[in-house]
Amino acid sequence: MATALARQPVSLKLLSSGFLALWCLVAAFPILWIAVMSVKSPVDAFDDRFWNVVTGPATLANGSGVSVLGIALYLAACWGMVRLVARQMPSLIGQIPPRRRWIGWVLGAAVVTLGAALVLFVLLPTLLAVLNPLAGPLGRDVFGFTTEHYRTVWIERGFLRNFQNSMIVTCGVVLVSLTVGTLAGYGLARSGSTLAFWILIIALVFRALPHSVLVAGYLPVFINSAEILRPILGDAAPTLYGKPLAVIAVLVAINQPFTIWMLRSFFQNIPADLDEAARVDGCTHFQAFRRVIMPVMWPGVITTGLFSFLLGYNDFLVTSLLLDAQNQTMVPAIAGMFNRETTTTDQVVAVAAAVSITAPLFILVMVFQRQIVSGLTAGAVKG
């Protein structure tokens, strides 16, 4: 209800919405622009005229384009699939007993990915090939649109390999960071001792170190790791330099202080009464942690996990310094695609790679946004 108190003058409304719109444009423009570039032929992508980049006449001339009907169909398909998944999936998975529910989520995600790929890359193109000639002017190609750069990147340039490496490094970082972080964060949150305080301060100091310092410190150890580890592992001792394991170790070292601090503050928001109630009810200290505290902690774990994921996923310095060619992750791989000798074709291919690398992040944030903002602890204690 618009009361006199809540009513804003028109000028203020215009100003604030105008500012918001401008801000959205500035923030989203680079992403949208490279997304547009990545589906055009190099001639269009680097054209001086704005409108030529958007419509892509040279791409159209090459015979790759999309009709109005095509755009409408693709948009409808995307919207329909999102609606279907959002409505059906939680209730379907809710029927599985809680203990095995995570299997349901993994299976569900796999089915959704496969289904989406099938619809978007097989079903719709076939359908459009039949429908376009029948639709008259609506069926004529109006925008240049080609997926050839994506094909080049993922198949010819072996970006899939980089993607796998990125996933290995990122998952390793998230897994180690969260395991150590939850245990340490819980312990430090519940301990009132001076030692706990100093551990946290020292963690902060390590967090403040430049990343290159850590890399420099670890480098000799990784290069000589075969000799160092020989007394323990025998001849199987690996040279860690160039392996994902080395990058995971350094990234965890960089990330761990932050996860400990963040998880600690989440744990501190959970009243200690809950642990105590669980211990009186019959739990050991560890059972109280696992059965009572962790279920309440999920939003905190997911939020911290997301930040760890981003650190591992987006890292350039450590991965470019420590990994050899076949273990290269995506970010340094894209950086390697740009150099003085590159042609415009190579550059558009690199742009397509850059667009590919952002897609998983969008999906990740959208899937977990509810956990990130939710406050499960509400109602734990007196209201």
Partner 1 sequence: MAEIQLRNLQKRWGDFVGVEGFDLTIADREFLVLLGPSGCGKTTTMRMIAGLEEVSGGEIRIGDRVVNDLEPKDRDVSMVFQSYALYPNMTVYENIRFPLKVRGVDPASHDEKVMRAADMVELREFLHRRPAELSGGQRQRVALARAIVRQPNVFLMDEPLSNLDAKLRVSTRAQIKNLTHDLKVTTIYVTHDQIEAMTLADRVVVMRKGKVQQVGTPTEIYDRPANAFVASFIGSPAMNLIDGQVAEGTFTADGTAISGLDLPDGPLTLGFRAEDARLAEFATQAEITAPIYTIELLGDAVMISVRIGGALVSVKADKSFRAEIGTPVSIHVPARICHPFDADTGERV
Residues that bind partner 1 (CB under 8 A): 271, 273-274, 276-284, 287, 291-292, 295-296, 376-383
Which residues face 144 on adjacent strands? 65
Nearer to partner 1, 293 or 354 (CB): 293
271 close to 196: Cβ distance less than 8 angstroms: no
Residue 96 DSSP code:
S
Closer residue to partner 1 in complex, CB, 139/187? 187
CB 104 within 8 A of CB 96: yes
**CA distances in angstroms from 297 to 45, 100, 140, 266, listed in the order given:** 47, 19, 54, 7
Q: Phi-psi bin for 234: left (phi > 0), alpha (psi -120 to 50), beta? A: left
Minimum Å gap between C-beta 292 and partner 1 is: 6
For the chain, the straight-line distance linking the first and the last C-alpha, in angstroms and rounded, comes to 29
Beta carbon of residue 272, minimum distance to partner 1 (angstroms, whole number):
9
CB of 70 to partner 1, least distance (A): 47
Written as six digits, the tokens of 129 are: 């090939």
As measured in angstroms, the least distance from the Cβ of 280 to partner 1 is 5
222 Rama class: left (phi>0) / alpha (psi -120 to 50) / beta: alpha
Comparing CB distances to partner 1, the nearer of 231 and 282 is 282
208 vs 378 by CB, closer to partner 1: 378
The residue (of 208 and 373) whose beta carbon lies closer to partner 1 is 373
SS3 labels along 113-156:
HHHHHHHHHHHHHHHHHHHHHHHHHHHCEEEECCCHHHHHHHHH
Residue 69: CB minimum distance to partner 1, A: 49
Residues 69, 75, 78, 84, CA torsion sign: negative
**What is the closest distance, in whole angstroms, from the C-beta atom of residue 122 to partner 1 in the complex?**
42
Structure tokens at 221: 């150890």
Closer residue to partner 1, CB minimum distance, 287 or 358? 287
Give the nearest distance from C-beta 289 to partner 1 in angstroms.
13
Nearer to partner 1, 265 or 287 (CB): 287
